[in-house]
Every structure is written in structure tokens, then in C-alpha cells.
Structure 1
Amino acid sequence: MHPPQFPRIPPLYRSYTAPLHAAAMTDSLTDLVRRAQPATLLRLFLGILLPLIVLGLIGEDVLEKERFAFETPAMLWLHGHAGGALTAFSVFMNYFGGPVVMGVVIVLLPTIFWFTRHRPQALFALLALGGAAGVQAIMKRIFQRPRPELWPRLVAETGASFPSGHSTVAAALAVLVVLLLWHTRLRWPALVLGAGYYALMALSRVVLGVHYPTDVLAGGLTSLVWVLGTYQILRGRLLPRNAGRA
């Protein structure tokens, strides 16, 4: 007969060394922050931490059903001064940035990267655009903010108002293109065109009266955090090997 087997009791020294392991991990993280380049820390602060703080402050007020005093007067002023050309342009942007066209872009762009043997860029585009669209859909269900009812709408929109889906996807596309072209000579044209595209999309949503200004701002902040966070995770695979020397 074999002797009975008793469960093995871990050595007592492990309980004393656990705090040492935690302290060593903390020291490693501290050293990592110290070794990080100032540009990286600035990018993380301006692109992720600060937008998250602003988004959290806005979201807290939306959850508590508080009204932003400036929004209704600003929207009524814009509605009274928006001419026919701006209104027609806003209607065009409504359909151009809608789920049909942007759904094709979300599928087509990663597909093009994939079949042109840019596999990391394909993964980045899919996660950035598809993830941003998914995050804003989840946020709409959480916040359940009603859409503004200030004047008769020219376009039919359903669902919650916060954040703006059109603005979220537009910002995600803009940030995606800027990051992919940042290490080329097209970085500044891409930045100007991307920022202009998001600004026009955000303006069109307010002109049509289907979103509050904080809705479109939250959409831009959501995409900035999501796309930059995804880029930071995949950065080693996306950057060319000679990007540092360039």
C-alpha cells in the first residue's frame, strides 16, 4: 500500500517574499516611465489621459440628466444663421457619414490593406474603425440621452444621442489616417484634412438638430482615446524599422 498523499503546503517564505515581488514590479514600472521618451508621455497624456478625463466629466453630467446651459442657445443661434447651402451640405454629410457608407469603409479599408500584404495595417484599421463604432453603440445604450427637439428635423434619426455615431466614426477614420501617414511627408496635410473632416461632420450634426454639441465632442474624444490606444498597442508592428532614423 502506498502512503497517503497530503496536499502540499507552500513554504512560509513565499508569504514574506510576495511584498518584495510587488515592490520589484512597482520599481520596474517606475523605471519604464522614467525611460519613456518625453514625446511618448506627451502623446499618452494629450491623446488618452486628458480626453478620458474630459469625456468622464461630460458623461457624468449626462448620466445625472443635467443640462449644459450653453447648448440650447448655441444651437438656436446656429439654426437661425445657417443658410441653405450649409443645411444642404449637412444633409449630404448625414448620408455620407451614415451606417451604409461608413460600413463599406470599415470593411473595405482593412480588406485593401490585407490583400496588398499590409497585414498589421489591416488589423489596425479593423480594430480602430470597428472598435470605435462598437464602443459608441455601447455608450448609447448606457447613457440613453434623448435627442434634441428644438425644431423640425430634415433627416430621420432614431436611437440615443450620446455620443454622436457619425462624429465618432469620422474622428476614428481621421485619426487612423493621420497615424498611418505620420511617419511620411503627408503627416501635416493628413492632420489638417482629418481635423477638417471631423469638424465638418460634427458641425453638420448640430446644424441638423440631431445632436447636442457635447454629443459630437464626446464622439471625437471617444475615437481619439480608442484609436490612439489601439495604435500604442500595435505600434511596434505598424512603424517601419527605419522610422526612428527618419
Structure 2
Amino acid sequence: MQSLFSWLQQQLTPRRQAVVLLLVGVIVPFVIFGDLAEDVWEEQGFFFDVPILLAIHRTARPQLDVFVSYLTNLGVFWGVVPASIVTILLLIFRRRWRALEFFLFTLVGSGILNRSTKLLLHRVRPHLWTSPAPELDYGFPSGHAMASMTFVVALVILSWNSRWRWFVVIVGTMFVLVIGWTRLYLGVHYPSDVLAGWMVSLGWTVGVSLLINPHTVSRKISR
């Protein structure tokens, strides 16, 4: 009986983990994103957007403007894109084809989600002050927030079974927060834009990992 119980526990535990991951990592983030997107669609404002932006703007300094204008580019072209290319090459070198499939599908899908949502909702960016690094396209959700969060969550999932996972979690979390802060400091996004970007990226990346398990090892075909 004890051996049967142990067998059942071993069989159920992964399923429970998958259910919890589905709830916390996919459903909750998408619900939050859906609520934010619905309010944007109905052109309702968020009470916290302007006060947070004004509070952050009070810390602005000319020298800091220049530094943040460069720093924010790490969120996409100067940071996430080169790091993604290195990750892809590393996965190819190590012949982790399933992980490569997960990583590519996640990144491409995140980019499509971002562009599609921006074109659908047409949310105008804030104009509370003249930004030192202005943006011309729509603001919801934040592309920098989505790119940084997608990359970090994907990297956490890929490294979860290694000794590097907590290092990736800590450094990655700091990176995501810093990139989000730069978008607010520059006045090119509302806090709700950044929050929406984080939520949809988290839900998307975790959801893809449940469909494409990056830790599955492809079986070699015997001849």
C-alpha cells in the first residue's frame, strides 16, 4: 500500500505543479492584462498612471536623462536582441532543439502580440513633458517591458534545472525592473503600459513552456 501511495504521489505531483503553473503563471497574468486592455479599449484612465509618472519625473536631472536614454536601449536592441542571438547560438551548439524551438516561438510570438495589441488599441503615449528620447508609435503595451520580461522568463525556464537558476532569477528581475523604470522616467509610457507588458509576456512565455517543454530531450531515431 505504501509503495502504491508513493507511486501515486509521484504521478500526481508533476500534474499539480503544472496546474499551479497554469494558474499563477498563465491565467492570472492574462486576466490582469485583459482587465487593463479592456479599460484602454474603453478609453478609461488609470488613477495611478499620472501620479507615478509625475513622482518619477521629479527625480529627473540632465545628466541622468542622457544615461537613461542609453540604458533603456538595453531593453531591446542593445541588450535583449544580442543576448537572444547568443542564447540561440548556444542552444544550437549544444543541440538542444526542443529548447531552441521554445525560445524562438516565445520571442517571435511575443513580438507579434506586442505589435498586434498596439495596432488594435491605439493608445497614445503620455505627453506630460518633453521626453529626452521620444517615441512615435502607440504605447500599450510597452515593447521594452515585453521584450525584457519575455527574454528573462524564457531564460529562467531554460536554466531552471541548473545551478544558475537563482542567479538568473535575481539578475533578470533587476533587469526587468530597471528597463520598466527607464520607460517611466523618460515619460514614453504609462505605468499601466509597463504592467500590461509584463503580464502578457509572463503569461505567454509560461504558456508556451507548458505546450513546448524545453527540457524534453528528443529521442534519436534508430536505424
TM-score of Structure 1 vs Structure 2, range by shorter chain: 0.7 to 0.9
Match of 2:181 among 199, 203, 212: 203
Match of 2:159 in 1: 181
Following the alignment from structure 2 to structure 1, what is the Cα–Cα distance between the partners of residues 15 and 100? 27
Match of 1:217 in 2: 195
User: Any idea what SS the aligned residue of 1:37 has?
Assistant: helix
Question: Residues 1-246 of structure 1: matches in 2 within 5 Å?
Answer: 37-83=15-61, 86-99=64-77, 102-235=80-213, 238-239=215-216
Following the alignment from structure 2 to structure 1, what is the Cα–Cα distance between the partners of residues 78 and 109? 17
> Shift in Å at residue 205 of structure 1?
0.2
User: Any idea what SS the aligned residue of 1:135 has?
Assistant: helix
Following the alignment from structure 1 to structure 2, what is the Cα–Cα distance between the partners of residues 239 and 215? 35
Q: Does the 8 Å CA contact 1:89/1:204 hold for their aligned counterparts? A: no
User: Any idea what SS the aligned residue of 1:76 has?
Assistant: helix
Match of 2:9 in 1: none
Residues 160-169 or 77-86, more deviating: 77-86
Residues 156-165 or 117-126, more deviating: 117-126
Report sequence identity in percent.
29
Following the alignment from structure 2 to structure 1, what is the Cα–Cα distance between the partners of residues 89 and 117? 27
**Higher relative contact order structure (alpha carbons within 8 Å, sequence separation ≥ 6):** 2
> Shift in Å at residue 151 of structure 1?
0.5
Q: Does the 8 Å CA contact 1:172/1:224 hold for their aligned counterparts? A: yes
> Shift in Å at residue 69 of structure 1?
1.6
Report how many aligned residue pairs link the two structures.
207
Following the alignment from structure 1 to structure 2, what is the Cα–Cα distance between the partners of residues 156 and 227? 29
TM-score by length of 2: 0.84
Judged with a 3 Å threshold, the aligned counterparts in structure 2 of structure 1 residues 36 and 178 are, in CA distance, closer, same or farther, namely closer
1:115-134 Cα deviation digits (max 9, x unpaired): 33121121111111121111
Structure with bigger gyration radius: 1
TM-score by length of 1: 0.77
User: Any idea what SS the aligned residue of 1:170 has?
Assistant: helix
Following the alignment from structure 1 to structure 2, what is the Cα–Cα distance between the partners of residues 86 and 221? 28
1:48-73 Cα deviation digits (max 9, x unpaired): 01111111111000001111122112
- Letter paired with 2:136: T
